[in-house]
Amino acid sequence: MAEPLLRVEKLVRRFGGIVATDNVSLDVSSGELHAIIGPNGAGKTTLISQLTGQLLPHSGTISLAGADITRVPAYRRSALGLARSFQITSLLLDFTALDNVALAAQAHSGHSFYFWSDARNESQLRGAALAALVRVGLGNRADTLVSKLSHGEQRELELAVALATKPQVLLLDEPMAGLGITESARMVKLLQELRREVTIVLVEHDMDAVFALADRITVLVYGRVIASGAPAAIRNNEEVRRAYLGELHAVTRHG
Amino acid sequence: MKDWLNARNAIVVLVIAGLLLLPLYSSMTGNIFLLTLFTRIVIFAMAAASLNLIMGYGGMMSFGHAAYLGIGGYAVGILAHEGIGSGFIQWPVALIASALFALVIGALSLRTRGVYFIMITLAFAQMAYYVASGLSRYGGDDGLTIYKRSDFGGLINLSSRVQLYYFCLACMFGVIYLIWRIVNSRFGMVVQGLRSNEARMQAIGFPANRYRLVCFVISGTMCGLAGALLANNTDFVSPAVMYWTRSGDLMVMVILGGMGSLFGPVLGAIVYLVLEESLSQVTEYWALIMGPLLLLIVLFGRGGIVGLLGRLRRG
């Protein structure tokens, strides 16, 4: 196989005495859906934050398509093709759904030091934004204020915003968080479609979703990778079972 | 809901018409004081509008905006004092000086957020105030009298009360038009997005502070223009225009009128300064009436006067 699209090598991040990311290495190949799972406090969000540039690692490297991006600031990673969704919905609440996505399309089309013409009249931005909204099934909610959207719709909008930056890699931080059963099912279906178009790194608690979607799974426990491989191999991995699957069954049963 | 016939727009149109016709009324009744007062109001409305660009649209609570009034004013005053009377030199200098000051202040203070941003902008404005107080060659504490208003050749005569008024009004409308274009442009969308959610904007690829800084400089330059006008209107500039209470006045005008609305600051400036003027004629304790009045509007009229007017029709 060619060089991985996203490569993480020996990443370390400490918070005081706690090592939240402990020598984590992982490869994500182009076209793959790579899930990262682990019990609460395993350091999943810390890892995602380093991938997106919100946190800087203490050591180790992150490279995207062969280029080292370890120290590249967050805002520039988006231009390089790394998009993210937030675990806790993070949108412009006082903007319409369409404006949210149009801003992402605008970010993708170069700098924004244009002071004169009306951005809401730019058909190419609006077109791209509407296409992304339709893609996630929010085509008819374009002119609704985000604060008036349901939680499920906001989760879908997060995806549309990420898609509008035309990413190579989509980092999804618990896209199912807080969704009901039908909404979750819709999200899984949506991700199943999207995975054909873009490489996805998925952090998720919903084990049914993870095992249904992932090509490969990396298991984090206390900041360390304890296993990485195909879903079947992970399911049968002794160490994973011991450290995690007991709880995992509990999660699947109750939650 | 594209209904232009609402209370807010009706008031805005009435106010614009009133401002345009004011000199007529003043000359018919011989009430010169009214014209002088409203020249001042229009200038402060412009300054408040410029503050609204960063405060209302950009979410940057600058507590030092009066500094630009002083910088624009001192640029005109100092050049006039040194014998350079041409407005074609004075005014560009006033604008450039304000822009540079905003660039330096912005670059330093935009590293902070929230209360710290408020305190740092306040501190810089107070520094400007003390520097001006120390300029003994230019009057120091007592301020600097400007014996000749900016000379624009035969183009316009600022010594004519009516011409000065209309010139100020034209500048105010120009600034508001500019703000309207900026706010709806790509740049304006980014700035407003940053007000709403900075982390999200960074994540989709916008370097936050670069956009904020440019917005800060535009706003400061606009306020510098108001400063140059103010100096011409009063024939005088002193450190007092930069004092922190002046910055507070500007903030109150913006909040009173309605943050993040195009004409809010104009309404805010009119109401604030007219109240101040009329109450101070009734009693010297006018602030005792003004204070609670402002409190009521801020407490019960979220979105200021513009917000109140918007609710009139719906509610």
Chain segment A110-125, per-residue pLDDT in tens: 899 999 999 999 999 9
Of A167-181, B98-112, B230-244, B286-300, the range with the lowest mean pLDDT is B286-300
CB pairs under 8 A between A and B: 93
Q: With cut-offs at 50, 70 and 90, classify the pLDDT of residue A67.
A: very high
Contact A165 B185 (CB under 8 A): no
Residue A60 lies in a domain: yes
Contacting residues for B93 by C-beta, under 8 A, at least 6 apart: B75, B79
Same domain, A162 and A174: no
ipTM of the modeled complex: 0.89
Same domain, A214 and A146: no
For chain B, give the percent of residues with pLDDT over 90. 83
Question: How does B154-168 read in b/e, with b if 16+ C-beta sit within 10 Å?
Answer: eebebeebeebbbbb
What's the whole-model pTM score? 0.92
Q: Rounded CA gap, B252 and B271, in Å?
A: 11
**Chain centre to alpha carbon of residue B132:** 20
| DSSP H or E run through A22 | strand A18-28
Residue A246 lies in a domain: yes
Residue of A nearest to B182 (CA): A115
Residue A192 lies in a domain: no
| DSSP H or E run through A11 | strand A6-15
Interface test with B, best of A118, A170, A173 (most B CBs within 10 A): A118
Asked if A35 and A158 touch (Cβ cutoff 8 Å), the reply is: no
Residue of B nearest to A163 (CA): B204
List the structure tokens of B193. Answer: 């997005």
Q: Rounded CA gap, B148 and B236, in Å?
A: 10
Instruction: State the residue range of the domain holding A247.
Output: 1-81+169-183+199-255
Residue A226 lies in a domain: yes
Contact A73 B204 (CB under 8 A): no
Same domain, A175 and A245: yes
Same domain, A63 and A174: yes
Same domain, A174 and A255: yes
Asked if A113 and A128 touch (Cβ cutoff 8 Å), the reply is: no
pLDDT value of position B295: 85
Tell me the one-letter amino acid at A166.
K
pLDDT value of position A253: 43
Kindly list the distances between the CA atom of residue B140 and the CA atoms of B79, B130, B132, B135, B239, in Å, as whole numbers in the listed order: 16, 9, 6, 5, 8
Q: What is the dihedral of CA A191, A29, A131, A208, to 10 degrees?
A: 10
Contact of B206 with chain A, judged by CB distance below 8 Å, is answered with yes
pLDDT value of position B13: 94
Beta bridge partners of A203: A36, A173
**Count of CB atoms situated within 10 Å of the CB of B133:** 18
Interface test with B, best of A87, A98, A115, A120 (most B CBs within 10 A): A115
pLDDT top residue among A240 and B109: B109
Q: Rounded CA gap, B5 and A217, in Å?
A: 59
Contact A52 B188 (CB under 8 A): no
Contact B205 A119 (CB under 8 A): no
Contact B185 A115 (CB under 8 A): yes
CATH of the domain at A240: 3.40.50.300
pLDDT value of position A87: 87
Q: How far is A15 from chain B (nearest CA, A)?
A: 21
Residue of A nearest to B211 (CA): A113
Contacting residues for A10 by C-beta, under 8 A, at least 6 apart: A23, A24, A25, A59, A60, A61
CA neighbor of A162 nearest in space, from A239, A86, A214: A86
As a whole number, mean pLDDT of residues B273-293 equals 89
Contact B190 A118 (CB under 8 A): no
Same domain, A27 and A98: no
pLDDT digits (tens, 9 = 90+) for A14-60: 998 899 999 999 999 999 999 999 888 888 989 999 999 989 999 99
Q: Where are the alpha helices (DSSP H) in chain B?
A: 7-29, 32-52, 66-81, 87-109, 114-133, 161-184, 186-196, 198-203, 208-234, 244-257, 264-282, 286-300, 304-314
Q: With cut-offs at 50, 70 and 90, classify the pLDDT of residue A236.
A: confident
Q: What's the domain count of chain A? A: 2
Same domain, A207 and A94: no
pLDDT digits (tens, 9 = 90+) for B81-125: 999 999 999 999 999 999 999 999 999 999 999 999 999 999 999
Asked if B250 and B132 touch (Cβ cutoff 8 Å), the reply is: no
Give, to the nearest 10 degrees, the angle between helix B32-52 and helix B161-184: 20
pLDDT value of position A244: 66
Contact B204 A103 (CB under 8 A): yes
Interface test with A, best of B179, B189, B190, B204 (most A CBs within 10 A): B204
Contact B185 A117 (CB under 8 A): yes
Residue A17 lies in a domain: yes
Query: B10-19, long-range: CB within 8 Å, 24+ apart, which pairs?
Result: B11/B267, B11/B309, B12/B263, B12/B267, B15/B263, B15/B266, B15/B267, B15/B270, B19/B169
pLDDT top residue among A141 and A3: A141
Rg of chain A on CA atoms, in Å: 18
Contact of B185 with chain A, judged by CB distance below 8 Å, is answered with yes
Residue with the two structure tokens 């502070």: B209
Residue A248 lies in a domain: yes
Q: With cut-offs at 50, 70 and 90, classify the pLDDT of residue A255.
A: very low
Residue A188 lies in a domain: no
Residue A119 lies in a domain: yes
As a whole number, mean pLDDT of residues A173-197 equals 91
Q: What is the mean pLDDT of chain B?
A: 93
Rg of chain B on CA atoms, in Å: 19
Q: With cut-offs at 50, 70 and 90, classify the pLDDT of residue A241.
A: confident
pLDDT value of position B284: 86
Same domain, A70 and A178: yes
Q: With cut-offs at 50, 70 and 90, classify the pLDDT of residue B312.
A: low
DSSP codes joined into one string, A41-92 = TSSHHHHHHHHHTSS--SEEEEEETTEE-TTS-HHHHHHHTEEEE-SS----
Same domain, A110 and A162: yes
Same domain, A160 and A216: no
Pairing of strands A59-64, A67-68: antiparallel
Q: Rounded CA gap, B56 and B279, in Å?
A: 28
Same domain, A75 and A174: yes
Mark which of A141, A166, A191 sits at the end of a domain. Answer: A166
Asked if A62 and A51 touch (Cβ cutoff 8 Å), the reply is: yes
Q: How far is A173 from chain B (nearest CA, A)?
A: 13
Write down all domains in chain B, each with its CATH number in brackets: 7-314 (1.10.3470)
Chain A residues whose beta carbon lies within 8 Å of the beta carbon of residue B199: 54, 86, 90
Beta bridge partners of A225: A220
